[in-house]
Each structure stands twice: as C-alpha cells, then as structure tokens.
C-alpha cells in the first residue's frame, strides 16, 4: 500500500529534518492545592526531552527536581496559600458546614494574586524577563485570571490546562457550548441526566457562581492586575477570550461526553502510569495480607488527614480493626498513633499508582479527587468515595453512575456504614467488573493523552497561536449566542404578519360587503 506509506515516510522525514521547534515556555498555576501541579509536570516531562525550556510558577516548592524544569515559587504566594489551606475540610463537611465558604473562595482569587505580584521574587522575575522571552504560556484553566497579566506582559500566545475537569468557566468564556441542561455544576452531586427540578438547581448554581466570579474579577482582581502590570491591561475576561488552546483534564468515559470546539483536546490521565514494584517495606506488609488482600485509604493532598476530627479517626480505627484485609493509610504526621490496629500501616507519602496497580489491592477509599478517580479507572480498582469539597461530589456522582463506586456521605457517616460499604465493594464482583469496563473504554484511544497534549502544544508554537481553530462565538453575548435577538425579531415579524393579514382580510371583507351592498343599490334591488 504505497499510497499509505508515503505520507507516513514524509512525516517521519519532516520530523527528523526539523527535530526542534524548541521554545521557552512559562507555566503558571495559582491552584491552591498541589494536585493542580501534576498535569503541568507531566506535560513538562514530555516537552523537555523535545528541547523545550520550561519555567513553572506555582505555590508549592518542589520536593523533587525534574531536570530541565525550573520551578519558581515566590515566598509570598507560598505563604498565602499555605495559610489559606490550613483547614479541616473533613471536619467542616461532617458538621454539615461549607468546607470552604463561598466568600473565602472569592477572596482567594484576588488575595493570592496580590500575594504573588507584590512578592520581590516575582518582581525580579518580571524585570529579568521581557516581552519575547517566552514563546508560549500555559496557564491553569481554573483561576487563570491573575496569570493572564503575565500573558500581557510577555505578549505571547497562551493556552490552558483546565485542571479541574468539571469547571466550565474557562471553556464557555472561550466560546464553547456549556449547556446547563446536561453539564452538572462542579460542586453538586448532579449527573448529566437531570430531571426538571435538578436542572433548576443546576442552573441556579451556575448563575450564582457566574455572578460571584464576575464580581470578584471586575471589582477586585482586575485592579490588582492593573496595579502591577499597568493601566493599559485590558479586561481579563477579554484577554481570556484569546486563549489559543485548552487541554481539558477530562475524557468522555470518566467525566461526561461534552461538546467542544476544535481548540480543545481532552487529556484525562495524562499523569497515569503502569504500576512499578512497591518499596520493600510496603511490599512485605501488603504480601502479609494473604488471600484477604489489602485496601488503600487516602484523602488526597488537599484534605489533610492529620487535621481530621478525632472522632472520625477513632471511627476509622474501629472499622479497620474489623476488616480481614490489611490497610495502607496515607496520613501526614510523624507522630505515632497510639491505638493503631496491627493490620494498619500509615505512610506520610505513598506511591499511589503503584499501590492502585498492585494485584492484591481489593478496594480504594478516597475523597473523590479527580486525579485519584482517573487513576482508579486506569488501574481498574473499585472505590468507596467520601466527597469533601470542590469537585469531589461531581466526580463521585459520575463514578457511582458508572458502577465502580459506592458513595458515602460524611455528614451521616457511621462505622457500620463504612464497614458495610467496604465489604460490599470487595465482595460483590460487579464493582470490579464495572471498573474494568471503564478501564477498557478509557484506554481505547488512538494516542496517549501526553502525546495529544504535546502535539497541540507544539501546534500552537508552530502557528504562534491557533487563530484558525478559535470560534467567533467567544465574542458573543448571551443574546447573540442563544439567538435571543433573532428569536425576538422572528416572533415579532410573525405577529406583525398575523395582525397585518387579519387587518387586511377585514378591510377586504368590509370592502366586498360594501361594494356588494352598493351594487345592489345600483341595480335597484333594495326596496
């Protein structure tokens, strides 16, 4: 089949003869949890061997080095985020409170921006690097507004990694359709099939969130950006419309099927990796569990397990003690726990994917963080979710719909409920089978998420943006986008036609009657 081989050969030649579209890339995330860094790291790991230089600005000092990646973590931002996130989210959720108050969410956007931009390290970074230093900026699609000031400063094209897959704000601002009728709001437990009441709830959530976002950006954040980058900085919402490409941290199989414009590509599981052998200490512990196997318990990095209420910790101990399985528990403290059951091992940092891919693992108890959910599917592990905040409820609802998860509510959690959920997920094979089915669906793709992300990043570099892929819909207001103006004009025209016709008919009828009558007069038939 020479016709098929020829283009491939040309492609290979083209790539070899032009091995480097080498560029300087600046990545920025203002994300308040470390998990926001992970998709950026993975993309950087893929880009660096291809000759790109990457600088990564974020709020979490690196605890390991990636050769070729320069991380900038201004102390002011690091401190602000650390202080802001010293929270007990689980306790708040259990007491039925908002884990993070909506007003605190608002405050976060402009305060973290001020903390970043007034920092001396940031200032010297901006002085040392000028317009043209960076060929491309890759920003976090969740809270990109502050970082857009950098895109203005460096006058470079920019793209997003939309780290919070269920967040639609950055997508809809770039002109993507995001109908409230089947796209659940990120902090609800709604799915993509909603009845009328649920659609009302979903719509109210979206409208409220958009109003708050608009207030915080227009009234507070815009001023911070102007103060530091100059009065000529356009409205950040307008700058955001220019986003060249969006790498969306989702995939139809694990988030939901959604309509996207051609400058969006899904990259869920860009960070997923085959399991490596466990460190010896862990492997020994896990192997000691015999046929019963083990379960893995982790509330992720944003939810600090060590800050959880004492009564929850006690409850967990009661549950774990009753299990025939061994339990690996991610817990961030160096203190010994006095009443720790003998079948439990604590770890401050545990190699999550190597654990999830371990053949002896029976179930994963998780807070429902997006990356953890992707990993659970990638390694086909049935899960029990205990959603805490942000997008956890959405993620958990999707996993439950797909049949590989049981969801527990922290506000009504008891030892019996947790114990029976763990037993059910382990004993009923349908959960593991559903996880395996999801895994097959997720993996059945023409290329890996990383390959796709690299291709589109270099596409934007090659074309200095992605103008050809951007839709003019991003400039439309609500009236124009939903054709409200057109519908109004059409309805008015129809009404006008209707009444005009009615009026004319009456006129003609009257005239006809009159002329008939007057004709009769003329012929002298009327006495």
Select 234 or 403, whichever has its Cβ closest to ligand NAG: 234
3-class DSSP assignment, residue 289: coil
Instruction: Rounding to the nearest 10 degrees, give the CA dihedral for residues 162, 165, 167, 172.
Output: 60
Select 283 or 458, whichever has its Cβ closest to ligand NAG: 458
Select 61 or 132, whichever has its Cβ closest to ligand NAG: 132
Asked if 304 and 341 count as a contact pair (C-beta separation under 8 A), the reply is: no
Select 48 or 317, whichever has its Cβ closest to ligand NAG: 48
Going by C-beta distance under 8 Å and a sequence separation of 6 or more, which residues neighbour residue 101? none
- State the binding string over 374-393 for ligand NAG (x if CB under 6 A, else -): --------------------
Asked if 46 and 453 count as a contact pair (C-beta separation under 8 A), the reply is: yes
Sign of CA dihedral 369, 375, 377, 379: negative
- Shortest Å, Cβ 131 to ligand NAG: 14
- Shortest Å, Cβ 495 to ligand NAG: 40
Select 130 or 502, whichever has its Cβ closest to ligand NAG: 130
Q: What are phi and psi of 366, to 5 degrees?
A: -140, 160
Select 118 or 242, whichever has its Cβ closest to ligand NAG: 242
Select 242 or 420, whichever has its Cβ closest to ligand NAG: 242
DSSP 145-198: TTTHHHHHHHT--EEEEE-STT--HHHHHTT----TTTS--TTS---S---HHH
Q: How many residues does the chain have?
A: 527
H/E segment holding residue 87: none
Size of the site for ligand NAG (CB under 6 A): 9
Select 77 or 161, whichever has its Cβ closest to ligand NAG: 77
- Shortest Å, Cβ 133 to ligand NAG: 9
Asked if 182 and 271 count as a contact pair (C-beta separation under 8 A), the reply is: no
- Shortest Å, Cβ 70 to ligand NAG: 9
Select 51 or 279, whichever has its Cβ closest to ligand NAG: 51
- State the binding string over 77-116 for ligand NAG (x if CB under 6 A, else -): ------x---------------------------------
- Shortest Å, Cβ 24 to ligand NAG: 5
Cβ count near 416 (within 10 Å): 11
- Shortest Å, Cβ 248 to ligand NAG: 21
- Shortest Å, Cβ 391 to ligand NAG: 22
Going by C-beta distance under 8 Å and a sequence separation of 6 or more, which residues neighbour residue 131? 153, 154, 155
The two tokens of residue 419 are 């114990």
- Shortest Å, Cβ 447 to ligand NAG: 25
- State the binding string over 15-34 for ligand NAG (x if CB under 6 A, else -): -------xxx----------
- Shortest Å, Cβ 365 to ligand NAG: 29
- Is 155 one of the binding residues for ligand NAG (CB under 6 A)? no
User: Where in 222-281 is the site for ligand NAG (CB under 6 A)?
Assistant: 234, 238-239, 242
The two tokens of residue 467 are 């103008």
Select 22 or 508, whichever has its Cβ closest to ligand NAG: 22
DSSP collapsed to 3 states, 93-159: HHCCCCCCCHHHHHHHHHHHHHHHHCCHHHHHHHHHCCCCCCCEEEEECCCCCCCHHHHHHHCCCEE
Per-state percent for the chain, helix, strand, coil, to nearest 5: 50, 10, 40
Select 81 or 380, whichever has its Cβ closest to ligand NAG: 81
Between CA 188 and CA 387 the distance in angstroms is: 10
Asked if 473 and 481 count as a contact pair (C-beta separation under 8 A), the reply is: yes
- Shortest Å, Cβ 141 to ligand NAG: 17
- Shortest Å, Cβ 326 to ligand NAG: 38
Q: What is the DSSP letter of 24?
A: E
By the criterion CB under 6 A, which residues form the site for ligand NAG? 22-24, 53, 83, 234, 238-239, 242
């Amino acid at each position: 089949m020479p016709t098929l081989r020829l283009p491939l050969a040309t492609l290979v030649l083209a790539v070899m003869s032009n091995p480097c579209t080498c560029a300087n890339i600046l990545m920025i995330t203002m994300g308040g949890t470390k998990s926001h860094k992970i998709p950026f790291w993975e993309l950087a790991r893929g880009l660096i061997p291809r000759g790109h230089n990457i600088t990564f600005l974020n709020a979490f000092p690196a605890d390991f080095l990636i050769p070729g990646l320069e991380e900038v973590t201004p102390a002011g931002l690091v401190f602000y985020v650390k202080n802001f996130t010293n929270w007990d989210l689980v306790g708040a959720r259990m007491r039925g409170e908002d884990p993070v108050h909506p007003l605190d969410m608002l405050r976060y956007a402009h305060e973290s921006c001020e903390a970043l931009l007034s920092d001396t390290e940031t200032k010297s970074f901006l002085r040392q690097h000028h317009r043209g230093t960076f060929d491309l900026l890759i920003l976090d699609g969740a809270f990109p507004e502050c970082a857009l000031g950098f895109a203005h400063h460096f006058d470079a094209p920019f793209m997003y990694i939309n780290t919070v897959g269920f967040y639609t704000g950055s997508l809809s601002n770039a002109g993507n359709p995001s109908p409230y009728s089947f796209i659940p709001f990120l902090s609800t437990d709604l799915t993509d099939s909603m009845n009328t009441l649920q659609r009302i709830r979903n719509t109210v959530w979206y409208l409220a969130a958009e109003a708050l976002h608009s207030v915080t950006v227009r009234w507070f954040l815009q001023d911070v950006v102007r103060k530091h980058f100059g009065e000529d900085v356009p409205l950040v919402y307008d700058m955001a419309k220019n986003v060249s490409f969006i790498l969306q941290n989702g995939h139809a199989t694990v988030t939901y099927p959604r309509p996207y414009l051609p400058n969006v590509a899904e990259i869920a599981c860009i960070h997923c990796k085959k399991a490596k052998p466990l460190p010896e200490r862990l492997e020994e512990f896990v192997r000691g569990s015999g046929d019963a196997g083990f379960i893995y318990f982790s509330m992720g990095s944003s939810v600090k397990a060590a800050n959880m209420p004492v009564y929850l910790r006690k409850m967990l101990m009661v549950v774990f003690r009753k299990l025939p399985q061994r339990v690996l528990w991610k817990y961030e403290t160096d203190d010994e726990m006095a009443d720790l059951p003998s079948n439990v091992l604590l770890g401050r940092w545990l190699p999550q994917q190597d654990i999830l891919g371990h053949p002896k693992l029976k179930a994963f108890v998780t807070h429902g963080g997006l990356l953890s959910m992707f990993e659970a599917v990638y390694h086909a592990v049935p899960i029990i979710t205990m959603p805490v905040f942000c997008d956890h409820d959405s993620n958990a609802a999707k996993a439950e719909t797909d049949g590989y998860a049981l969801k527990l509510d922290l506000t009504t959690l008891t030892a019996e409920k947790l114990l029976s959920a763990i037993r059910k997920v382990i004993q009923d094979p349908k959960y593991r089978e559903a996880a395996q089915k999801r895994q097959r669906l997720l993996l059945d793709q023409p290329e890996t998420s990383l390959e796709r992300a690299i291709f589109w990043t270099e596409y934007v570099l090659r074309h200095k943006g992605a103008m050809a892929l951007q839709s003019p819909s991003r400039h439309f207001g609500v009236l124009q986008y939903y054709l409200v103006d057109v519908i109004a004009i059409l309805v008015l025209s129809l009404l006008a036609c209707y009444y005009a016709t009615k009026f004319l008919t009456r006129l003609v009828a009257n005239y006809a009657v009159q002329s008939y009558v007057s004709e009769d007069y003329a012929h002298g038939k009327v006495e």
